[in-house]
Copies of this chain bind each other. A is one copy, B any other.
């Protein structure tokens, strides 16, 4: 585990106690719950964007709510989550993989990379959260560290990022009861030089 600021990984009691397993909860569930907690304690304002839907037909029955009867999923043009934390614009994508040894780059789309590049350029914080379900580990990888892998994919057909490299260049996100994916603890270390 690669801690920023030269700090050694300190085993926190609530970080190593994995008796309350997150198996069965999806990464999205865990992040939504975490964001709700951040909101409840007024720590940050971060939301998942709704899934983009192309609506084709809507019925308006009398005295009841409009019913959408034909619609299609659209590809998102940005990442899934964004918000505001300590004056900073935050933007990230979250992906889980069942792969043991690597994270397939097919999980990330070109427009998402372009979007994250714009975010970094305009002064925001962009990253990807990657969960290896088999290892029950969730990592934060800064966008700036994701880009080179992506360009290797474009240039020479790189298929994936090895799990070992994510372990080295990413940051293991602590799993806590109220913040099942406490990614802001990593952001605090990376950008604010503290816990």
Q: Identify the A interface with B (CB < 8 A).
A: 39, 42, 44-45, 47, 49-53, 55, 65-73, 76-78, 82-89, 91, 115, 118-119, 121-124
Contacts and interface: CB of A to CB of B under 8 A. Distances in A.
Copies of this protein chain in the complex: 2
4 nearest A-B residue pairs (beta carbon):
A87-B123, A68-B71, A50-B52, A89-B89
A162 to B, nearest CB: 31
Nearest to A82: B82
A118 B42 CA distance: 8
B82 A73 contact: no
A78 B115 CA distance: 22
Nearest to A39: B118
A167 B134 CA distance: 59
Residue in A47, A65, A115, A119 whose Cβ sees the most chain B Cβ within 10 Å:
A47
Contacts of A85: 122
A70 B59 CA distance: 10
25 contacts: A39-B118, A42-B121, A44-B122, A45-B115, A45-B118, A47-B77, A49-B50, A51-B53, A53-B71, A65-B72, A65-B73, A66-B72, A68-B68, A68-B72, A71-B71, A83-B89, A84-B118, A84-B122, A84-B123, A84-B124, A87-B123, A87-B124, A88-B123, A89-B89, A89-B124
